Amino acid sequence: MVQILNSGSNPTSGLGSNRLSSERVRRKNEARRLEILHAAARVFRRRGLAAAGMREIADEADLSPGNLYHYFSGKDEILLFCQDRTLEHMLAAVKAACASKVPVAEQLRAVMSAHVHCMLDELEGATAHLEVEALPEPLRAPIIAKRDAYERAVRALVAQGMKRGEFAAGDASLVTRAMLGAVNWTARWYRPDGARSVTEIARSLSDYLVRGLAAAPSTRSARTAAVSGVRK
């Protein structure tokens, strides 16, 4: 007869419990870091990035300076968190748009709308998203790499729309930079207490920018027919 010892115990239960506890801590820390990011945004908007200090950010977040340093080692790390998070969201938006089956114009409209939301939702119009040059070189390099990857992805959408005849022919690089400049500039003029919500701004601006690229109907029909003929 085999005697079962400690039948009520599970050798893996402790590991599972530890993983669950660790995940809770991670989520809690992430939520707190986002709260601090919002507080920092308000300080950046009032004082400007250069003049904002960690003590002011701690006061705005209702934390002691010591507690603030538990989450961020300094203003550079807050900026890095902000910019990296924003770029990850924007890269994900491009990936999701490209995976859809809708026309290129709709894909680009979705990307531009998501870009505006990334600029305005979390940092409420603070320009910290744009202050890449304020980061020290070791922190700046990976952010620039992600920013360039995002710009290439948007440019590829614009070029694809031109090739398919959805957009008027032109310089895809120039068009892309003009569009990104327009959506980035929202962080400089947006005010949370303004007349229009972020959703309204995102919808109106993305629609305006994409409609401005549209090819004339006759050109679009001819290009579509040519592309169809090549595929056949």
Buried b (16+ CB within 10 A) or exposed e, 173-209: eebbeebbebbeebbeebeeeeeeebeebbbebbeeb
Q: What is the Cα–Cα distance from 230 to 61, expressed in whole angstroms?
A: 59
Question: Whose CA is closest to 37, among 83, 2, 99, 70?
Answer: 83
Amino acid (one-letter) located at 128: A
Q: What is the Cα–Cα distance from 149 to 154, expressed in whole angstroms?
A: 9
Cβ partners under 8 Å of residue 40, min gap 6: 52, 57, 60, 61, 75, 78, 82, 126, 128
Tell me the pTM.
Answer: 0.79
- Delimit the domains of the chain by residue range: 12-72, 76-231
CA angle 206, 79, 201 (to 5 degrees): 20
Which pLDDT tens digits describe the chain residue by residue (232 residues)? 444 444 445 555 566 667 767 788 778 888 898 899 889 988 888 888 888 899 999 999 999 999 999 999 999 999 899 889 889 999 999 999 999 989 999 999 999 999 999 888 876 667 777 888 888 888 899 999 999 999 999 999 999 999 999 999 999 999 999 999 999 999 889 888 889 999 999 999 999 999 999 987 755 554 555 445 544 4
The single residue listed with the structure tokens 């115990």 is 9
Q: Which fold has domain 76-231?
A: Tetracycline Repressor; domain 2 (1.10.357)
- Architecture of the domain whose range is 12-72: Orthogonal Bundle (1.10)
> What pLDDT sits at residue 28?
84
Classified as helix, coil or strand, 152 is: helix
The single residue listed with the structure tokens 């002011």 is 56
